[in-house]
Amino acid sequence: GQQLNQSPQSMFIQEGEDVSMNCTSSSIFNTWLWYKQDPGEGPVLLIALYKAGELTSNGRLTAQFGITRKDSFLNISASIPSDVGIYFCAGQEGSQGNLIFGKGTKLSVKP
């Protein structure tokens, strides 16, 4: 079946550093989504990307939909302690297809 490779699996960084994570797929997607999950809660949508090459920002977060439609990255600038959590990418085929999720990147931030 389809798979999404998300990397890195975990990151331990100093407060103030920039963070970059990415997802790649063997399949072409029409939509890429990025979610953050805090402990004990459900994933919360951060950014949605709908067009190849699209670059979208949400505060200190920036995500891009790769030109090949098989990859996406998420950058977090000037990390702060509340950025701690697990970040998931998800890809969707077509407008009705189900989402395929990456296995997540666990981010730890040292004050």
Q: Which of 65, 56, 80, 84 is nearest to 25 (CA)?
A: 65
Rule CB under 8 A: is residue 21 a binding residue for another protein?
no
Rule CB under 8 A: is residue 43 a binding residue for another protein?
yes
- Our CB check for another protein shows the closer of 48 and 52 to be 48
Rule CB under 8 A: is residue 26 a binding residue for another protein?
no
Only one of the segments 14-22, 26-34, 59-67, 76-84 lies at the binding site for another protein (rule: CB under 8 A); that segment is 26-34
Reduced to 3 states, what is the DSSP secondary structure of residue 94? coil
Region 50-89 residues binding another protein, contact defined as CB under 8 A = 50, 88
Rule CB under 8 A: is residue 103 a binding residue for another protein?
yes
CA 30 – CA 38 distance, rounded (Å): 27
* 73 φ/ψ angles, rounded to the nearest 5 degrees: -130, 160
Q: Return the amino acid letter for 62.
A: T
Per CB under 8 A, the list member of 45, 55, 67, 80 interacting with another protein is: 45
Number of residues that bind another protein (CB under 8 A): 23
Q: Which of 87, 65, 62 is nearest to 75 (CA)?
A: 62
